[in-house]
Structure 1
Amino acid sequence: MPLALYLLAVAVFAMGTSEFMLAGLLPDIAADLGVTIATAGLLTSAFAVGMVVGAPLTAGLARRWPRRPALLGLLGLFLAAHVVGAATGDFTVLLATRVIAALANAGFLAVALTTAADLVPSGRKGRALAVLLGGTTVATIAGVPGGALLGTMFGWRAAFWAVALLCLPAALGIARGVPAGPGRQDAAPGLRRELTELRRPRLALALLLGALVNAATFGTFTFLDPIVTGVAALAPLWVPVVLVLFGLGSFAGVTVAGRLSDRRPAVVVLAGGPLLLGGWVALGLTAPHPVAVLVLAFTQGALSFGVGSTLVARVLYEAAGAPTMAGSYATAALNVGAAAGPVIAGATLTTSLGERGPVWAGGVLVAVVLLLALPFRRALGYGGRTAPHP
């Protein structure tokens, strides 16, 4: 894999840390800025909405820019948003910086996904995607707990400053490692032509399945705390342990799936999908047992990100006719799932399922994926077919 891919992954790590770190900072932010915790929670919603809207919008605006300036400009905007956010004492300003940071994050990831696909031979997009998404999984392992620790020791603003500082080596690496040329934009079709690719059933299927798997993943991930402390009756200190195990599993999942998703994507989905469904069912049944929760946190992280990253790789293959917008389609699908999953999972908490509701919701979402994937397994590259449409 080219060095430039790993340099892009450093930036994705910084952005992933920013996206997830608020889970441990909201009470401090609320107390410092004089708002309720529920109001502070709008910071998370604003970021998710910004990610969904920002991917196609920013990619569309930057589609004719050379890749290196586009990546550096979006990373610089992300850095500036965190500097302003760390310095402000006004909640409205902080909320605005989260929207701006999300727009920059979404645009960066969209351009980075397309860049990653261009940096490798046409049959290795899955492995390139695994390297890039490795930055996100490492953020769940080290970045998020690190941000929470900084917030505990030095206040929530320290976590924002740390993310801003992480952007500096990433920017230096991009400036030195990403090719300066325009990539494939100079020969790209018109924007309207690229947008019409969304009408293709195979691409629409890959987008839908990717969003559903991501919804199951983030819906359950968001509510692991009540499962650990409530159902399993573990001490609060075990919550970061479970989160780290989930992160380690997700890193293992994208790494292994990245080696298979280019040649045998249907095998990953149709073999990993039932295992993923079985894991959610097992967690729903065994959540009162701490050992089961610890083991399944790792395995479900691996299966969720393994299957999910394979489906996102299919988006890049199926959107070959939209070379400058393919990354934005994949980014939007990921974040539609990330935004919808916690809403769906949260709604189950007030039902008779209680704190295990998000786990069962995740299982239902994966079951829908399998019901859709089985009849259309050839569209997923069954039998090793990796080529997109003619």
Structure 2
Amino acid sequence: MYSMSAPRERRLLWLLALTQFTIIMDFMVMMPLGPQIMHAFNISPAAFAAAVSAYSWCSGLSGLLAATYIDRFDRRKLLLVVYALFAVSNVACAFADSYPLLLAARAFAGLTGGVLGSIIMAIVGDVIPVARRGAATGTIMTAFSIAAIAGVPAGVMLGAHFSWSAPFVLLVVFSVIIWIAGSRIVPTLDQHLSKRPPPLAEVLPNLYKLFANARHLNAFALTFLVMVSHMLVIPFISPTLVANHGIAPAQLSWLYMAGGAATFFTSRAIGRLADRYGKHRVFRVAVVLSLLPVLFVTHLPEVSFLVMLLFFPIFMIVMSGRIVPMQALLTTVPQPAQRGAFLSANSALQALGTGFGAWFGGLMLSSGSGGQILGYGTVGWIAVAVALCAVLWVSRVTAAGDHPAARPPLGGESMGEA
């Protein structure tokens, strides 16, 4: 475990949160830009879902491959190299002038984004003691709020006034600034290299052992279920609001801004609750609270924009509230020597769940004769069913050091996460 002063630790956490902000904005901004992208390239909801999924599939693949090498490098150097490639991927997105080129650019962005998420969480696991890891994860998760408050609304407004590609130009600017700051703030993080890394001939067998561990598999399954439940719904909110309820694309920025403002503080608060009351318990409560908002947004009646403006913060609070305790719980699952590889593999499963959810949700949607999107209600019910499966499954996810004999009954908290 690294020893850092409190101010230096805070600077590092906020730098990682800003790095995560650009990754999340890169992914999130595609969703409110859906109506404009569908119009610009003359594509269907299913084709748009494929563009969203291209990022996720490649992110999952790169994250899985990263599990074979992430623990072989100084985390600082790896972070800076991959983040530079991430900036290049956004240049490619900004200048894509056809649907195939957009797909290729999103795939490239996914290849870099998947590894970055793993590196960030590995650094948190290396630097922050487990007793404060929930709060630290909450700080990292404020990136979602910052993206919703500032990044996505700015992207939507730029897209409405200029072009759908303008937000990706903005991301390039942000990435360059954050990269420069990271080169000065992130310290050398190479203590995990004190043990000689295994030769490449052992990498694949070690990866197999990573997935053969029952405790790891239970954690991976939880990640996959939660992300499928998320992405069945979230990518299609903006296209449905525009096509079915007549909300102007420029107004979408206000929804994301209101939701992000609400979650900016709740992410850290939920992280502290997870540290205090147990990550399993807080996760279950957050999922149950999210079910009604999911059904409301997927069965949305004719409501005014003001109603949506009041509802959206509630929706975003409960949806992001499911992720914070889950991520904090997952950092306790692997042994320290396997943390980087485990989190890389978990990031891969997260991305695959994201891609599968968006892809499968898109398959269930169709366009009506008047351009409206059909089938969203069915998608909502499936998302709720998958989320309930995650509530039941989370009891199987235990921390490193837990023993079957000490494991609490279904519904209890694992002793090893405290």
| TM-score normalised to structure 2 length | 0.80
SS at match of 2:321: helix
Q: CA deviation at 1:73?
A: 0.3
Q: Which residue of structure 1 aligns with residue 163 of structure 2?
A: 155
User: Residue 221 of structure 2 is aligned with which of 203, 208, 211?
Assistant: 208
* Residues 315 and 329, structure 1, Cα contact 8 Å, conserved in 2: no
Residue 9 (1) aligns with residue 22 (2): no
Q: Which residue of structure 1 aligns with residue 4 of structure 2?
A: none
Q: CA deviation at 1:171?
A: 0.9
SS at match of 1:180: coil
Q: Which residue of structure 2 aligns with residue 199 of structure 1?
A: 212
User: Residue 86 of structure 1 is aligned with which of 94, 111, 131?
Assistant: 94
SS at match of 1:262: helix
For 1:121-136, list aligned pairs within 5 A.
121-136=129-144
* Residues 141 and 267, structure 2, Cα contact 8 Å, conserved in 1: yes
Query: Residues 216-241 of structure 1: CA distance to partner in whole angstroms, max 9, x if unpaired?
Result: 22222222235545666656555433
Q: Which moved more, 1:210-219 or 1:115-124?
A: 210-219
User: Residue 113 of structure 2 is aligned with which of 105, 112, 115?
Assistant: 105
Q: Which moved more, 1:170-179 or 1:205-214?
A: 205-214
Q: CA deviation at 1:13?
A: 1.1
| TM-score normalised to structure 1 length | 0.85
SS at match of 1:2: helix
Measure the CA separation in 2 of the matches of 1:380 and 1:186. 39
Residue 297 (1) aligns with residue 312 (2): yes
For 1:138-153, list aligned pairs within 5 A.
138-153=146-161
Measure the CA separation in 2 of the matches of 1:72 and 1:349. 40
CA-based RMSD: 3.3
* Residues 67 and 183, structure 1, Cα contact 8 Å, conserved in 2: no
Q: Which moved more, 1:37-46 or 1:61-70?
A: 37-46
Measure the CA separation in 1 of the matches of 2:312 and 2:130. 34
Q: Which moved more, 1:320-329 or 1:349-358?
A: 349-358
Number of residue pairs aligned between Structure 1 and Structure 2: 386
* Residues 154 and 253, structure 2, Cα contact 8 Å, conserved in 1: no
Query: Residues 135-180 of structure 1: CA distance to partner in whole angstroms, max 9, x if unpaired?
Result: 1332133212211222233323432221111111211221111111
Residue 36 (1) aligns with residue 19 (2): no
Residue 354 (1) aligns with residue 375 (2): yes
Residue 319 (1) aligns with residue 334 (2): yes
Measure the CA separation in 1 of the matches of 2:10 and 2:354. 29
Which AA in structure 1 matches 2:77?
P
Unaligned runs of 5+ in 1: none
Unaligned runs of 5+ in 2: 1-8, 368-372, 398-406
> Using a 3 Å threshold, how does the CA distance of structure 1 residues 201 and 279 change in structure 2: closer, same or farther?
farther
Q: Which residue of structure 2 aligns with residue 337 of structure 1?
A: 353
User: Residue 257 of structure 1 is aligned with which of 270, 275, 280?
Assistant: 270
For 1:218-297, list aligned pairs within 5 A.
218-225=231-238, 228=241, 238-263=251-276, 264-281=278-295, 287-290=301-304, 293-297=308-312
Which AA in structure 2 matches 1:82?
N
